Amino acid sequence: MIKIEDVMSVYSGRPDCCCCGCAGKHTYAYAHRAEASKHRGYEVDDDQVSDRTVKLIVNKMNRLFETGVKPDVDAKDFVSVVGGSRLYIAYFSSKKSA
């Protein structure tokens, strides 16, 4: 299960495409905005921040995991899963809780 407080940003896009944002969208959590800006090397704009969207995608991912869907990638700094016609990724803050 993904803890919402650990998530710096999420991505929702088409599977089998790159994740640069051309086939989906990155959204950032307000609490981790400064860290996300530093991580990507330029400022996260206001229109890229939505705690509601981050929560929505994390909840979708957790529901997929509860039904037995396995992550495509389960790394230290992110987890990804395909559900239906969407690829979901949760990127973790470096301040992730234990």
Q: What is the pLDDT of residue 95?
A: 78
Residue 98's pLDDT is 54
Burial of 66 (0-12, 13-18, 19+ CB in 10 A): exposed
Q: pLDDT tens digit string along 26-81?
A: 999 999 999 999 999 999 999 999 999 999 999 999 999 999 999 999 989 999 99
Domain boundaries, the chain: 4-92
Kindly report the pTM of this predicted structure. 0.93
Structure tokens at 63: 């529901």
Helix boundaries (H) for the chain: 33-40, 51-66
**Residue type present at position 34:** A
* pLDDT of 96 strictly over 90: no
pLDDT at 8 over 80: yes
Residue 97, pLDDT > 70, answer no
Q: What's the token pair of residue 74? A: 């389960």
What does the alpha-carbon distance between residue 9 and residue 27 come to, in Å, rounded to a whole number? 6
